[in-house]
Amino acid sequence: MSTSITNAAATGFLKDVRHPLLALHREILDASRAQHESEFGPVSPGEFLQIVINGSAYRWIAPLSTLIAALDDVLDDAEATSDARIEMALAVSAMFGSKDQKSRNAVFDAQYLPMLQTSPEIAVANGQVVRRVQALASGV
């Protein structure tokens, strides 16, 4: 992807990709909870949230959670620089658009990529994110 993204394009992209990222995050958590419950029995949403936050088995989700939190911070900060917004747009693009394994998060991908093959809901949510990343890359 070219790094000649304008501030306006980065800001528009971040606003546009936020909800698809949240939907993807929710689908990943739902699938992870279903897997957890199949192994250990039912848990409440609050209990599962504590397992995700405090347990080591779900640390792989942290890069996506952190990315979304950082995206929200950049969008909510009226004093965020254009460089910060562009950098955030590039971070989202690297996580979901890069075919270069060095640019991607290997820990996240090790768990996430197999889920794309087994969960239609995650695949659809991923497609929504990737479509926006591709639009940014093509300058649409």
**Quick one: pLDDT band at residue 83, thresholds 50, 70, 90?**
very high
Contacts of 116 by beta carbon, 8 Å cutoff, 6+ apart: 122, 123, 126
Q: Give the Cβ contact number of residue 140 at 10 Å.
A: 8
Residue 85 lies in a domain: yes
Residue 120 lies in a domain: yes
Host domain of residue 67: 7-138
C-alpha dihedral, 66 to 133 to 121 to 62, nearest 10°: -10
Residue 105 lies in a domain: yes
pLDDT at 99: 72
Tally of domains within the chain:
1
Residue 2 lies in a domain: no
**Quick one: pLDDT band at residue 1, thresholds 50, 70, 90?**
very low
Query: For all residues of the chain together, what is the average pLDDT?
Result: 92
pTM above 0.85, yes or no: yes
Query: Which region holds residue 137: left if phi is over 0, alpha if psi is between -120 and 50, else beta?
Result: alpha
Residue 1 lies in a domain: no
pLDDT at 76: 96
pLDDT at 3: 57
